[in-house]
Amino acid sequence: MQPPHVSYLGRVAAALGVVTTVMALAVAPAAAAPPASDVEPLARAHAHNDYEHTRPLADALSFGFTSVEADVWLVDGELRVAHDLEDTRPGGTLQALYLDPLAERFAHNGGSVYRGWDGSLQLLIDIKSDGPATYAALDEALSAYPQLMTRWTDGTIKERAVTAVISGNRPLAEMAAQRTRFAGYDGRLSDLHSGRPATLMPLVSDNWTKHFTWTGAGPMPAAEREKLRSIVTTAHANGYRVRFWATPDRPGEAREALWTELVAAGVDHINTDDLAGLQEFLLAADPDEQAAAA
């Protein structure tokens, strides 16, 4: 890992001279996605376990995704990206697969992930190894990209082109104690009434199946629809965004029915492994995306 005083531009320059092959992930080096004129950024589109796609990050960006998820393990001083520890490999790092390509894209697009887009890409980092130790390494890594990454200082946010949020083994005490942070905390539904400020906890995520029985077959029970909308309303009133994982992801009527209810309720991020499927759905069925494209 390079020390925090190394600028993100320096890291980009170094990255341009090296092609990293991550055999366990069977990926090609991340490449720049098409310019914004070729793809519409999709506000709700979240790439679950993004690193499992053929081209981590690049594939999601080619479909207009505005949120991507990377699982990380701290191994031998490297923040290695993989779902399971045995699949981590030297060089298959958060920096190589995400931070350096995003910094290159930031420079190429004049300070934005998508040229002409004024939003911020969410980089959801799921810590799989020890929380405090891995977060300390993440904080050091993210702070090496000060022009790219959103920063919180004394409760005030300076939004940049990429906003990191920490999930998984989240060290809340360590994060809350920082005067300056380069990542937000991913809460759970049990945190909705915690009173934590959105400047610390911008996102609330949870397992769909732990809170709802309906998985898209037949009409959604009225009580569950009301519960979903109440969750979103409460979260938004406190400045939190909402995401669910473990939602149906096989193509079919059940998945589309559930996605339709998530959109109607105002859920901010829809989880999927099917990049093309969610892009097609949102462009056809999300009123917000239709209005943006008009």
Range of the domain at 139: 8-293
- Residue 19 in this model has a pLDDT that exceeds 60: no
Confidence band (pLDDT; 50, 70, 90) for 123? very high
The residue that leads in pLDDT, 289 or 137, is 137
SS3 content of the chain, % helix, strand, coil (to 5): 40, 20, 40
Over the chain, what is the mean pLDDT? 90
Q: Which of 15-19, 48-52, 61-65 is predicted with the least confidence, judged by mean pLDDT?
A: 15-19
**1 belongs to a structural domain:** no
CATH number, domain containing residue 240: 3.20.20.190
Nearest residue to 137 (alpha-carbon basis) of 233, 53, 195, 72: 72
The residue that leads in pLDDT, 36 or 89, is 89
Region 203-232: mean pLDDT is: 98
Task: Tell me if 123 sits within 8 A of 98, measured CB to CB.
Answer: yes
**87 belongs to a structural domain:** yes
Question: Could you tell me what percent of the chain has a pLDDT over 90?
Answer: 85
**50 belongs to a structural domain:** yes
**3 belongs to a structural domain:** no
Residue 234 neighbours by CB under 8 Å, 6+ apart: 192, 193
Confidence band (pLDDT; 50, 70, 90) for 31? very low
**202 belongs to a structural domain:** yes
The pLDDT value given to residue 293: 72
How many domains in the chain?
A: 1
- Residue 9 in this model has a pLDDT that exceeds 50: no
**24 belongs to a structural domain:** yes
> What is the rounded distance in angstroms from the CA atom of residue 98 to the CA atom of residue 148?
12
The pLDDT value given to residue 74: 98
Confidence band (pLDDT; 50, 70, 90) for 18? very low
**30 belongs to a structural domain:** yes
Region 25-31: mean pLDDT is: 39
pTM: 0.87
Region 29-47: mean pLDDT is: 70
* Residue where the block lists tokens 């759905």: 281
**2 belongs to a structural domain:** no
DSSP assignment of 5-56 equals TS-HHHHHHHHHT-----GGGT-PPP-PPPPGGG---EEEEEETTGGGSSST
Using CA atoms, how far residue 71 sits from 74, 93, 124, in Å, is 10, 10, 8
